[in-house]
Protein backbone atom coordinates (compact mmCIF):
# COMPACT_ATOMS: atom_id res chain seq x y z
CA UNK A 1 0.00 0.00 0.00
CA UNK A 2 1.24 3.46 -0.71
CA UNK A 3 1.63 6.02 2.03
CA UNK A 4 -0.21 8.68 0.11
CA UNK A 5 -3.31 6.56 -0.23
CA UNK A 6 -3.69 6.88 3.51
CA UNK A 7 -3.23 10.62 3.37
CA UNK A 8 -5.77 10.71 0.58
CA UNK A 9 -8.28 8.77 2.64
CA UNK A 10 -8.07 11.21 5.50
CA UNK A 11 -8.25 14.36 3.38
CA UNK A 12 -11.09 13.24 1.13
CA UNK A 13 -14.38 14.76 2.27
CA UNK A 14 -16.65 12.05 0.88
CA UNK A 15 -16.46 8.63 2.49
CA UNK A 16 -15.59 6.03 -0.16
CA UNK A 17 -17.91 3.06 -0.60
CA UNK A 18 -14.98 0.81 -1.55
CA UNK A 19 -11.43 1.10 -0.29
CA UNK A 20 -8.95 -1.20 -1.98
CA UNK A 21 -5.60 -1.27 -0.20
CA UNK A 22 -2.54 -3.19 -1.27
CA UNK A 23 -4.55 -5.81 -3.12
CA UNK A 24 -2.36 -8.71 -4.21
CA UNK A 25 -3.65 -11.67 -6.18
CA UNK A 26 -1.27 -14.32 -7.44
CA UNK A 27 -1.60 -17.48 -9.52
CA UNK A 28 0.52 -20.36 -8.36
CA UNK A 29 1.30 -22.51 -11.38
CA UNK A 30 3.77 -25.41 -11.50
CA UNK A 31 6.18 -23.23 -13.38
CA UNK A 32 5.92 -19.85 -11.71
CA UNK A 33 4.06 -17.46 -9.46
CA UNK A 34 2.20 -14.84 -11.47
CA UNK A 35 1.60 -11.68 -9.44
CA UNK A 36 -1.36 -10.64 -11.56
CA UNK A 37 -2.35 -7.93 -9.09
CA UNK A 38 0.64 -6.69 -7.14
CA UNK A 39 -0.20 -4.12 -4.50
CA UNK A 40 -3.11 -2.20 -6.01
CA UNK A 41 -4.80 0.60 -4.04
CA UNK A 42 -7.71 2.84 -5.00
CA UNK A 43 -11.02 4.13 -3.65
CA UNK A 44 -14.47 4.46 -5.17
CA UNK A 45 -16.91 7.02 -3.80
CA UNK A 46 -20.70 6.71 -4.04
CA UNK A 47 -21.91 7.98 -7.41
CA UNK A 48 -18.40 7.94 -8.84
CA UNK A 49 -17.10 6.06 -11.87
CA UNK A 50 -13.54 4.90 -11.43
CA UNK A 51 -11.86 3.75 -14.62
CA UNK A 52 -9.18 1.08 -14.74
CA UNK A 53 -7.23 1.20 -17.98
CA UNK A 54 -4.21 -0.65 -19.33
CA UNK A 55 -3.14 -3.01 -22.08
CA UNK A 56 -4.01 -6.68 -22.21
CA UNK A 57 -2.50 -8.63 -19.31
CA UNK A 58 -2.09 -5.66 -16.99
CA UNK A 59 -4.30 -7.19 -14.27
CA UNK A 60 -7.56 -5.29 -14.75
CA UNK A 61 -9.86 -8.30 -14.80
CA UNK A 62 -8.10 -10.04 -11.94
CA UNK A 63 -8.54 -6.85 -9.88
CA UNK A 64 -12.28 -6.91 -10.59
CA UNK A 65 -12.57 -10.64 -9.95
CA UNK A 66 -10.71 -10.29 -6.67
CA UNK A 67 -13.23 -7.70 -5.47
CA UNK A 68 -16.10 -9.93 -6.61
CA UNK A 69 -14.63 -13.04 -4.99
CA UNK A 70 -14.30 -14.75 -8.36
CA UNK A 71 -10.62 -15.71 -8.33
CA UNK A 72 -10.26 -19.36 -9.25
CA UNK A 73 -7.55 -21.81 -8.29
CA UNK A 74 -4.55 -21.73 -8.77
CA UNK A 75 -5.10 -18.08 -7.92
CA UNK A 76 -5.70 -16.53 -4.54
CA UNK A 77 -5.75 -13.20 -2.77
CA UNK A 78 -2.68 -12.86 -0.56
CA UNK A 79 -2.52 -11.89 3.07
CA UNK A 80 -1.92 -8.17 3.45
CA UNK A 81 -4.63 -7.37 0.89
CA UNK A 82 -7.74 -5.46 1.79
CA UNK A 83 -10.90 -4.43 -0.03
CA UNK A 84 -13.31 -2.75 2.36
CA UNK A 85 -16.93 -2.28 1.45
CA UNK A 86 -18.05 0.55 3.72
CA UNK A 87 -21.66 0.97 2.59
CA UNK A 88 -23.43 1.52 5.91
CA UNK A 89 -26.70 -0.33 5.23
CA UNK A 90 -24.70 -3.33 4.06
CA UNK A 91 -22.56 -3.30 7.20
CA UNK A 92 -25.72 -3.16 9.35
CA UNK A 93 -27.35 -5.94 7.37
CA UNK A 94 -24.25 -8.14 7.58
CA UNK A 95 -23.82 -7.55 11.31
CA UNK A 96 -27.41 -8.63 11.73
CA UNK A 97 -27.24 -11.70 9.43
CA UNK A 98 -23.75 -12.86 10.45
CA UNK A 99 -23.23 -11.96 14.11
CA UNK A 100 -20.71 -14.81 14.44
CA UNK A 101 -18.49 -13.20 11.80
CA UNK A 102 -18.84 -9.68 13.16
CA UNK A 103 -16.16 -8.03 15.24
CA UNK A 104 -16.46 -4.92 17.40
CA UNK A 105 -13.25 -3.04 16.71
CA UNK A 106 -13.79 -0.70 19.65
CA UNK A 107 -13.77 -3.66 21.98
CA UNK A 108 -10.75 -5.16 20.20
CA UNK A 109 -8.94 -1.84 20.51
CA UNK A 110 -8.52 -2.56 24.23
CA UNK A 111 -6.61 -5.72 23.36
CA UNK A 112 -4.56 -4.21 20.59
CA UNK A 113 -0.98 -3.27 21.33
CA UNK A 114 1.10 -2.21 18.31
CA UNK A 115 4.25 -3.37 20.10
CA UNK A 116 3.05 -6.89 19.22
CA UNK A 117 4.79 -6.30 15.87
CA UNK A 118 8.10 -6.75 17.72
CA UNK A 119 7.13 -10.02 19.40
CA UNK A 120 9.19 -13.08 18.49
CA UNK A 121 7.49 -15.21 15.86
CA UNK A 122 5.62 -12.29 14.31
CA UNK A 123 6.69 -11.92 10.70
CA UNK A 124 4.37 -9.13 9.62
CA UNK A 125 5.95 -5.68 9.84
CA UNK A 126 4.42 -2.20 9.91
CA UNK A 127 5.97 -1.84 6.44
CA UNK A 128 3.74 -4.63 5.13
CA UNK A 129 0.84 -2.35 5.98
CA UNK A 130 2.46 0.76 4.55
CA UNK A 131 3.58 2.36 7.82
CA UNK A 132 7.03 3.17 9.07
CA UNK A 133 6.29 2.91 12.79
CA UNK A 134 4.33 0.21 14.60
CA UNK A 135 2.60 2.81 16.75
CA UNK A 136 1.00 4.33 13.63
CA UNK A 137 -0.69 1.16 12.38
CA UNK A 138 -4.45 1.39 12.96
CA UNK A 139 -6.23 -1.70 14.23
CA UNK A 140 -8.64 -1.63 11.27
CA UNK A 141 -5.72 -2.02 8.85
CA UNK A 142 -4.36 -4.97 10.83
CA UNK A 143 -7.61 -6.94 10.87
CA UNK A 144 -8.65 -5.98 7.32
CA UNK A 145 -5.37 -7.31 5.96
CA UNK A 146 -5.79 -10.54 7.93
CA UNK A 147 -2.95 -10.10 10.42
CA UNK A 148 -5.16 -9.99 13.52
CA UNK A 149 -4.52 -13.47 14.88
CA UNK A 150 -0.81 -13.25 14.08
CA UNK A 151 -0.67 -10.22 16.37
CA UNK A 152 -2.47 -12.16 19.10
CA UNK A 153 -5.89 -10.57 18.68
CA UNK A 154 -9.14 -12.39 19.21
CA UNK A 155 -10.29 -12.57 15.59
CA UNK A 156 -10.71 -15.57 13.35
CA UNK A 157 -10.07 -15.95 9.64
CA UNK A 158 -13.82 -16.20 9.10
CA UNK A 159 -14.55 -12.79 10.54
CA UNK A 160 -15.48 -10.40 7.76
CA UNK A 161 -17.66 -7.68 9.30
CA UNK A 162 -15.81 -5.05 11.29
CA UNK A 163 -17.70 -2.43 13.23
CA UNK A 164 -15.89 0.79 14.17
CA UNK A 165 -18.88 2.85 15.31
CA UNK A 166 -21.95 1.69 17.20
CA UNK A 167 -22.88 -1.60 18.81
CA UNK A 168 -22.73 -4.73 16.63
CA UNK A 169 -25.28 -6.27 19.03
CA UNK A 170 -27.91 -3.81 17.80
CA UNK A 171 -27.08 -3.45 14.10
CA UNK A 172 -29.31 -0.41 13.53
CA UNK A 173 -27.05 1.52 15.93
CA UNK A 174 -23.99 0.96 13.73
CA UNK A 175 -22.64 4.19 12.28
CA UNK A 176 -19.35 3.02 10.82
CA UNK A 177 -17.58 -0.13 9.73
CA UNK A 178 -16.82 -2.30 6.75
CA UNK A 179 -17.23 -5.71 5.21
CA UNK A 180 -13.84 -7.09 4.19
CA UNK A 181 -14.36 -8.44 0.67
CA UNK A 182 -11.01 -10.16 0.32
CA UNK A 183 -11.92 -12.73 2.94
CA UNK A 184 -15.57 -13.40 2.17
CA UNK A 185 -16.70 -16.93 1.49
CA UNK A 186 -19.88 -18.96 1.62
CA UNK A 187 -23.16 -17.22 2.32
CA UNK A 188 -21.77 -13.73 3.05
CA UNK A 189 -19.97 -13.86 -0.29
CA UNK A 190 -23.03 -15.11 -2.16
CA UNK A 191 -25.12 -12.26 -0.79
CA UNK A 192 -22.53 -9.65 -1.72
CA UNK A 193 -21.95 -10.91 -5.23
CA UNK A 194 -24.86 -9.98 -7.41
CA UNK A 195 -26.55 -8.41 -4.39
CA UNK A 196 -24.61 -5.38 -3.23
CA UNK A 197 -21.98 -5.60 -5.96
CA UNK A 198 -22.89 -6.65 -9.50
CA UNK A 199 -20.66 -7.27 -12.47
CA UNK A 200 -21.13 -6.97 -16.22
CA UNK A 201 -18.67 -8.92 -18.37
CA UNK A 202 -17.43 -8.43 -21.92
CA UNK A 203 -19.43 -11.32 -23.31
CA UNK A 204 -23.12 -11.09 -22.34
CA UNK A 205 -23.55 -14.79 -23.07
CA UNK A 206 -21.42 -15.68 -20.04
CA UNK A 207 -24.13 -14.09 -17.86
CA UNK A 208 -27.19 -15.36 -19.75
CA UNK A 209 -28.48 -18.90 -19.72
CA UNK A 210 -29.58 -19.94 -23.24
CA UNK A 211 -32.40 -22.21 -22.04
CA UNK A 212 -34.36 -19.58 -20.06
CA UNK A 213 -36.14 -16.52 -21.37
CA UNK A 214 -34.49 -13.19 -20.64
CA UNK A 215 -37.50 -12.29 -18.50
CA UNK A 216 -37.21 -15.39 -16.37
CA UNK A 217 -33.56 -14.70 -15.69
CA UNK A 218 -34.30 -11.16 -14.57
CA UNK A 219 -37.18 -12.46 -12.45
CA UNK A 220 -34.86 -14.95 -10.78
CA UNK A 221 -32.55 -12.07 -9.83
CA UNK A 222 -35.55 -10.09 -8.55
CA UNK A 223 -36.71 -13.04 -6.48
CA UNK A 224 -33.29 -13.68 -4.97
CA UNK A 225 -32.37 -10.13 -4.16
CA UNK A 226 -35.64 -8.26 -3.76
CA UNK A 227 -38.01 -11.08 -2.87
CA UNK A 228 -40.37 -10.23 -5.76
CA UNK A 229 -42.53 -13.00 -7.26
CA UNK A 230 -45.32 -13.62 -9.79
CA UNK A 231 -47.07 -10.73 -11.50
CA UNK A 232 -45.09 -8.14 -9.63
CA UNK A 233 -41.78 -9.67 -10.74
CA UNK A 234 -42.99 -9.92 -14.35
CA UNK A 235 -43.97 -6.27 -14.37
CA UNK A 236 -40.68 -5.22 -12.81
CA UNK A 237 -38.66 -7.33 -15.28
CA UNK A 238 -40.37 -5.63 -18.23
CA UNK A 239 -39.82 -2.26 -16.56
CA UNK A 240 -36.11 -2.96 -16.16
CA UNK A 241 -35.80 -3.96 -19.81
CA UNK A 242 -37.51 -0.71 -20.70
CA UNK A 243 -35.16 1.21 -18.39
CA UNK A 244 -32.16 -0.15 -20.25
CA UNK A 245 -33.64 0.92 -23.57
CA UNK A 246 -34.98 -2.33 -24.98
CA UNK A 247 -37.88 -1.47 -27.29
CA UNK A 248 -41.10 -3.42 -27.00
CA UNK A 249 -39.96 -4.70 -23.61
CA UNK A 250 -43.28 -6.38 -22.70
CA UNK A 251 -42.98 -8.76 -25.62
CA UNK A 252 -39.22 -9.22 -25.54
CA UNK A 253 -39.26 -10.22 -21.90
CA UNK A 254 -40.53 -13.61 -23.13
CA UNK A 255 -37.77 -14.11 -25.69
CA UNK A 256 -34.59 -16.17 -25.35
CA UNK A 257 -31.06 -14.72 -25.38
CA UNK A 258 -30.41 -16.01 -28.93
CA UNK A 259 -33.30 -13.87 -30.18
CA UNK A 260 -31.48 -10.73 -28.98
CA UNK A 261 -28.71 -8.91 -30.87
CA UNK A 262 -25.31 -8.45 -29.17
CA UNK A 263 -26.12 -4.92 -28.01
CA UNK A 264 -29.59 -5.92 -26.77
CA UNK A 265 -28.08 -8.87 -24.90
CA UNK A 266 -25.67 -6.58 -23.11
CA UNK A 267 -28.60 -4.30 -22.21
CA UNK A 268 -30.41 -7.34 -20.82
CA UNK A 269 -27.37 -8.25 -18.73
CA UNK A 270 -27.28 -4.70 -17.38
CA UNK A 271 -30.98 -5.01 -16.52
CA UNK A 272 -30.20 -8.23 -14.68
CA UNK A 273 -27.41 -6.53 -12.75
CA UNK A 274 -29.77 -3.68 -11.80
CA UNK A 275 -32.42 -6.15 -10.64
CA UNK A 276 -30.21 -6.71 -7.60
CA UNK A 277 -30.20 -3.00 -6.79
CA UNK A 278 -26.42 -3.01 -6.38
CA UNK A 279 -24.48 -0.21 -4.71
CA UNK A 280 -21.45 -0.91 -6.87
CA UNK A 281 -21.45 -2.00 -10.50
CA UNK A 282 -18.26 -3.43 -11.95
CA UNK A 283 -18.08 -3.37 -15.74
CA UNK A 284 -15.27 -5.36 -17.35
CA UNK A 285 -14.95 -4.26 -20.98
CA UNK A 286 -18.73 -4.29 -21.39
CA UNK A 287 -18.59 -2.75 -24.86
CA UNK A 288 -15.45 -4.31 -26.33
CA UNK A 289 -17.29 -7.00 -28.28
CA UNK A 290 -19.80 -4.55 -29.76
CA UNK A 291 -19.55 -2.41 -32.87
CA UNK A 292 -18.76 1.26 -32.44
CA UNK A 293 -22.29 2.66 -32.69
CA UNK A 294 -23.71 0.15 -30.23
CA UNK A 295 -20.70 0.70 -28.00
CA UNK A 296 -21.49 4.41 -27.76
CA UNK A 297 -25.14 3.66 -26.94
CA UNK A 298 -24.22 1.27 -24.13
CA UNK A 299 -21.77 3.80 -22.67
CA UNK A 300 -24.48 6.46 -22.71
CA UNK A 301 -26.88 4.05 -21.05
CA UNK A 302 -24.40 3.20 -18.29
CA UNK A 303 -23.62 6.87 -17.67
CA UNK A 304 -27.35 7.63 -17.50
CA UNK A 305 -28.17 4.75 -15.14
CA UNK A 306 -25.24 5.65 -12.99
CA UNK A 307 -26.41 9.19 -12.52
CA UNK A 308 -30.06 8.27 -12.01
CA UNK A 309 -29.29 5.64 -9.42
CA UNK A 310 -26.22 7.26 -7.88
CA UNK A 311 -24.33 4.03 -8.52
CA UNK A 312 -20.68 3.65 -7.77
CA UNK A 313 -19.06 2.16 -10.82
CA UNK A 314 -15.74 0.54 -11.60
CA UNK A 315 -15.19 0.55 -15.34
CA UNK A 316 -12.49 -1.55 -17.00
CA UNK A 317 -11.26 -1.02 -20.54
CA UNK A 318 -8.07 -0.93 -22.58
CA UNK A 319 -9.50 1.98 -24.58
CA UNK A 320 -8.39 5.47 -23.50
CA UNK A 321 -11.21 7.02 -25.53
CA UNK A 322 -13.82 5.06 -23.60
CA UNK A 323 -12.13 5.91 -20.30
CA UNK A 324 -12.24 9.62 -21.11
CA UNK A 325 -15.93 9.43 -21.77
CA UNK A 326 -17.10 7.49 -18.76
CA UNK A 327 -14.76 8.00 -15.78
CA UNK A 328 -14.45 10.60 -13.10
CA UNK A 329 -11.19 9.20 -11.86
CA UNK A 330 -8.72 6.96 -13.66
CA UNK A 331 -6.22 4.34 -12.51
CA UNK A 332 -3.73 3.25 -15.13
CA UNK A 333 -2.52 -0.31 -14.61
CA UNK A 334 0.64 -1.95 -15.87
CA UNK A 335 1.82 -5.49 -15.09
CA UNK A 336 -0.18 -5.77 -11.89
CA UNK A 337 0.43 -2.26 -10.54
CA UNK A 338 -1.40 1.06 -10.66
CA UNK A 339 1.24 3.28 -12.26
CA UNK A 340 -0.76 6.52 -12.44
CA UNK A 341 -3.91 7.80 -10.79
CA UNK A 342 -5.68 11.12 -11.30
CA UNK A 343 -9.06 12.60 -12.02
CA UNK A 344 -9.96 12.25 -15.66
CA UNK A 345 -9.38 15.88 -16.72
CA UNK A 346 -5.94 15.97 -15.13
CA UNK A 347 -4.94 12.62 -16.55
CA UNK A 348 -5.75 13.63 -20.10
CA UNK A 349 -4.43 17.20 -19.81
CA UNK A 350 -1.27 16.36 -17.89
CA UNK A 351 -0.39 12.68 -18.15
CA UNK A 352 2.82 12.11 -16.22
CA UNK A 353 3.86 8.47 -16.41
CA UNK A 354 5.62 7.66 -19.70
CA UNK A 355 3.27 4.67 -20.05
CA UNK A 356 0.16 6.84 -19.75
CA UNK A 357 1.66 9.21 -22.30
CA UNK A 358 2.26 6.29 -24.62
CA UNK A 359 -1.33 5.09 -24.24
CA UNK A 360 -2.63 8.57 -25.04
CA UNK A 361 -0.49 8.78 -28.15
CA UNK A 362 -2.19 5.67 -29.40
CA UNK A 363 -5.64 7.30 -29.49
CA UNK A 364 -6.45 8.29 -33.09
CA UNK A 365 -6.32 12.06 -33.51
CA UNK A 366 -4.22 12.81 -30.43
CA UNK A 367 -0.70 12.44 -31.83
CA UNK A 368 1.38 15.13 -33.49
CA UNK A 369 2.03 13.56 -36.86
CA UNK A 370 -0.46 11.57 -38.85
CA UNK A 371 0.85 8.22 -37.73
CA UNK A 372 -0.81 6.36 -34.90
CA UNK A 373 1.78 5.61 -32.24
CA UNK A 374 1.62 2.43 -30.29
CA UNK A 375 3.99 1.46 -27.54
CA UNK A 376 6.27 -1.20 -28.91
CA UNK A 377 6.36 -4.53 -27.10
CA UNK A 378 3.98 -6.21 -24.66
CA UNK A 379 3.10 -6.15 -21.00
CA UNK A 380 5.48 -8.58 -19.27
CA UNK A 381 4.03 -11.37 -17.12
CA UNK A 382 4.66 -10.24 -13.55
CA UNK A 383 6.32 -13.49 -12.46
CA UNK A 384 8.90 -12.04 -10.10
CA UNK A 385 8.76 -9.49 -7.28
CA UNK A 386 8.77 -5.90 -8.49
CA UNK A 387 12.27 -4.82 -7.53
CA UNK A 388 12.51 -2.62 -10.64
CA UNK A 389 10.17 -0.74 -12.97
CA UNK A 390 8.26 -3.28 -15.04
CA UNK A 391 7.76 -0.71 -17.77
CA UNK A 392 11.47 0.20 -18.06
CA UNK A 393 12.23 -2.12 -21.01
CA UNK A 394 9.64 -0.26 -23.11
CA UNK A 395 10.12 3.20 -21.66
CA UNK A 396 11.57 6.01 -23.79
CA UNK A 397 12.60 7.83 -20.59
CA UNK A 398 14.25 4.91 -18.80
CA UNK A 399 17.58 5.50 -17.08
CA UNK A 400 19.90 3.21 -15.10
CA UNK A 401 18.06 3.28 -11.79
CA UNK A 402 14.81 2.17 -13.46
CA UNK A 403 16.07 -1.39 -13.75
CA UNK A 404 17.49 -1.40 -10.22
CA UNK A 405 14.84 0.29 -8.07
CA UNK A 406 11.12 -0.13 -7.64
CA UNK A 407 9.17 3.08 -8.32
CA UNK A 408 6.58 3.64 -5.59
CA UNK A 409 3.37 5.56 -6.09
CA UNK A 410 4.25 9.20 -5.25
CA UNK A 411 2.53 12.55 -5.78
CA UNK A 412 3.64 13.95 -9.14
CA UNK A 413 4.38 17.21 -7.39
CA UNK A 414 4.92 17.36 -3.67
CA UNK A 415 1.66 17.76 -1.79
CA UNK A 416 -0.57 17.01 -4.77
CA UNK A 417 -1.91 13.80 -3.35
CA UNK A 418 -4.68 13.15 -5.83
CA UNK A 419 -2.36 12.84 -8.80
CA UNK A 420 0.16 10.06 -8.28
CA UNK A 421 2.61 8.21 -10.49
CA UNK A 422 4.82 5.21 -9.84
CA UNK A 423 7.83 6.50 -11.73
CA UNK A 424 11.31 7.53 -10.58
CA UNK A 425 10.95 10.86 -12.42
CA UNK A 426 8.55 12.05 -9.72
CA UNK A 427 7.92 14.10 -7.60
CA UNK A 428 8.98 16.38 -10.44
CA UNK A 429 9.60 19.40 -8.22
CA UNK A 430 12.44 17.53 -6.50
CA UNK A 431 15.94 17.01 -7.83
CA UNK A 432 16.54 13.64 -9.40
CA UNK A 433 18.58 12.46 -6.38
CA UNK A 434 15.92 13.58 -3.95
CA UNK A 435 13.19 11.86 -5.96
CA UNK A 436 15.18 8.61 -6.02
CA UNK A 437 15.69 8.86 -2.26
CA UNK A 438 11.93 9.18 -1.73
CA UNK A 439 11.27 5.99 -3.71
CA UNK A 440 14.06 4.17 -1.95
CA UNK A 441 12.71 5.14 1.46
CA UNK A 442 9.24 3.91 0.65
CA UNK A 443 10.54 0.64 -0.73
CA UNK A 444 12.65 0.15 2.40
CA UNK A 445 9.60 0.71 4.60
CA UNK A 446 7.97 -2.22 2.82
CA UNK A 447 11.16 -4.27 2.69
CA UNK A 448 9.74 -7.34 4.35
CA UNK A 449 6.94 -7.89 1.84
CA UNK A 450 4.96 -11.04 2.50
CA UNK A 451 6.42 -13.81 0.43
CA UNK A 452 3.53 -15.16 -1.67
CA UNK A 453 5.30 -18.48 -2.12
CA UNK A 454 5.72 -18.82 1.62
CA UNK A 455 3.51 -20.03 4.39
CA UNK A 456 1.06 -17.13 4.54
CA UNK A 457 -2.49 -18.15 3.67
Ligand X SMILES: Nc1ncnc2c1ncn2[C@@H]1O[C@H](COP(=O)(O)OP(=O)(O)OP(=O)(O)O)[C@@H](O)[C@H]1O
- Minimum Å distance from CB 124 to ligand X? 25
Out of 1, 17, 18, 60, point to the residue binding ligand X (CB under 6 A): 60
Q: Which is nearer to Ni ion, 61 or 234 (CB)?
A: 61
- Judged by beta carbon, residue 116 or residue 314, the one nearer ligand X is 314
Name which position in 381, 440, 443, 456 contacts ligand X (CB under 6 A): 381
Number of residues that bind ligand X (CB under 6 A): 16
Q: Which of residues 140-179 bind ligand X (CB under 6 A)?
A: none
Instruction: Work out which of 39, 75, 130, 411 binds ligand X, going by CB under 6 A.
Output: 75
Q: Shortest approach of ligand X to residue 65 CB, angstroms?
A: 8
Asked if 62 touches ligand X (CB under 6 A), the answer is yes
Using CB under 6 A as the binding rule, whether residue 57 contacts ligand X is answered as yes
Establish if 33 lies at the interface with ligand X (CB under 6 A). no
Determine the residue with CB nearest Ni ion.
Answer: 61
Binding pattern for the stretch 48-67 against Ni ion, x by CB under 5 A and - elsewhere: ------------xx------
Site mask, ligand X, residues 216-255, x = CB under 6 A? ----------------------------------------
Asked if residue 59 binds ligand X (CB under 6 A), the reply is yes
Q: Name which of residues 169 to 228 contact Ni ion (CB under 5 A).
A: none
Specify the stretch interacting with ligand X by CB under 6 A; choose among 60-68, 221-229, 427-435, 440-448.
60-68
Q: Interface with ligand X includes 39 (CB under 6 A)? A: no
Q: Three-state SS across the chain?
A: CCHHHHHHHHHCCCCCCEEEEEEEEEEECCCCEEEEEEEEEEEECCCCEEEEECCCCCCHHHHHHHHHCCCCCCEEECCCCEEEECCHHHHHHHHHHCHHHEEEHHHHHCCCCHHHHHCCCCCCCHHHHCCCCHHHCCHHHHHHCCCCCCCCCCCCCCCCEEEEECCCCCHHHCCEEEEEHHHCCHHHHHHHECCCEEEECCCHHHCCCCCCCHHHHHHHHHHHHHCCCHHHHHHHHHHHHHHCCCCCHHHHCCCCHHHCCHHHHHHHHHHHHHHCCCCEEEEECCCCCCCHHHHHHHHHHHHHHHHHHCCEEEEEECCHHHHHHHCCEEEEEECCEEEEEEEHHHHHHCCCCHHHHHHHHCCCCCCCCCCCCCCCCCCCCCCCCCCCCCCHHHCCCCCHHHHCCCCCEEECCCCCCCCEEECCCCCCCCCHHHHHHHHHHHHHHCCCCCCCCCCCC
Tell me: does residue 24 bind ligand X (CB under 6 A).
no
Per rule CB under 6 A, is residue 80 in the interface with ligand X? no
> Given the rule CB under 5 A, which residues bind Ni ion?
60-61
Residues that bind ligand X (CB under 6 A): 27, 29, 34, 36, 54, 56-62, 72, 75, 318, 381
Amino acid sequence: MSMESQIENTTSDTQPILEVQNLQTAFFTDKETIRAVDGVSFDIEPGETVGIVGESGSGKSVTARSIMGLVDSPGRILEGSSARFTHLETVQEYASSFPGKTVDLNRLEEEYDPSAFNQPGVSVTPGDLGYERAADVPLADVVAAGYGSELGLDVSDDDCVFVTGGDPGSPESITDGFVELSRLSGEPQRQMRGGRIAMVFQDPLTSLNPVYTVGNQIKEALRLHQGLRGEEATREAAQLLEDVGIPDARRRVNEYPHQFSGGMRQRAVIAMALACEPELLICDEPTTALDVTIQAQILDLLAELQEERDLAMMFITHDMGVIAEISHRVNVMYAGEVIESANVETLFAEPKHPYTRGLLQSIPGRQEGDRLQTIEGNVPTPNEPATYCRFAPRCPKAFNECTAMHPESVPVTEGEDDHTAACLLYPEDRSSDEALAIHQQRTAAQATETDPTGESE
